[in-house]
Amino acid sequence: MKDHTGANARKFIDPMRTAKGEERARVALSDPQTLWFNTGTLCNIECINCYIESSPKNDALVYMTADEVSSYLDQLQERKWGVTEIGFTGGEPFMNPEFCEMLRRSLARGYEVLVLTNAMQPMQRKSVRNDLAKIIKDYPDSLTFRVSLDHYSPEQHDAIRGKNAFARSLDGMIWLRDQGAKLATAGRMLWDESEEDCRAGYAAFFAEHGFNIDAQNPAQTVLFPEMDETVEVPEITTECWSILDVSPTSVMCASSRMVVKRKGAETPAVLACTLLPYDAEFELGSTLAEAEGDVALNHPHCAKFCVLGGASCSG
């Protein structure tokens, strides 16, 4: 749901026009590269400012099944989207009891697979590790684990994720490293430090633990700004593309969609954006065919992160 209070009170209401009456920018699905699956919003921890409000109690997005994932993989072939990457997010994906099967099915189809995980206890259960070790061995070059590490220092990370969260994630990263898995990291730009200093801190951490992650590569070390919908941002008009010298094809919804399953729903739904899991306006239908329409940039995230900030979940 949109919050029409505060700095953006009169903005982002009409999908066709801005508050000033100008034509709102829209983005076509011009080059689909990534299909995301949200495996469910349940998570083993509850983080401060989690954009999707994942927690041990939040099941607003319920567990998806491996067969439902396969159905969308079939649709990708039928619609000839040209997608090269399948992404999995949550919640914590390894909470889902069918997650390893989802991985294997996606990899068996020849896709690159990206997993967003905290690498904590759900991934470290013995049965999961046994399955995962075999998958990594079978597909060492096609599977990447992007571990959420909010800061390279335990104190800062634990301030967001809870006591000893850093140590538990580090254990998971070390296990993945020892299996020969491809690793990446996602952090947050919450602290009073420059991006240069932040990346230097991550580089030292990676070197200390022998992680083959490039701290200077934004695709391997992703640094997200804080997502605050109350901060005033400009609405994006059709004229902004030329004014800002930004192409609509660079915006995330030009190249990706996300599949979720809402609590009580009979079928999954396809969303325009990974950042807006609860906004009904960005739900495009239950099939990929229905999700091929263009998307109105009618949310502060569209402006702040995607057009002005160049955000990308895949890198």
Residue 312 has pLDDT above 60, yes or no: no
How does pLDDT run across 1-20, given as a tens digit for each residue? 445 455 677 899 999 999 99
Please give the pLDDT value at position 313: 42
Residue 117 has pLDDT above 80, yes or no: yes
Residue 205 has pLDDT above 50, yes or no: yes
The answer to whether 115 and 145 are in contact (CB under 8 A) is: yes
Residue 147 has pLDDT above 60, yes or no: yes
d(CA 302, CA 298): 7
Please give the pLDDT value at position 228: 64
Domains with residue ranges and CATH for the chain:
6-307 (3.20.20.70)
What confidence tier does 121 reach under pLDDT thresholds 50, 70, 90? very high
Higher pLDDT, 89 or 314: 89
Neighbours of 267 (CB within 10 A): 11
Average pLDDT of 12-30?
Answer: 95
Instruction: For the chain, give the percent of residues with pLDDT over 70.
Output: 94
Please give the pLDDT value at position 80: 97
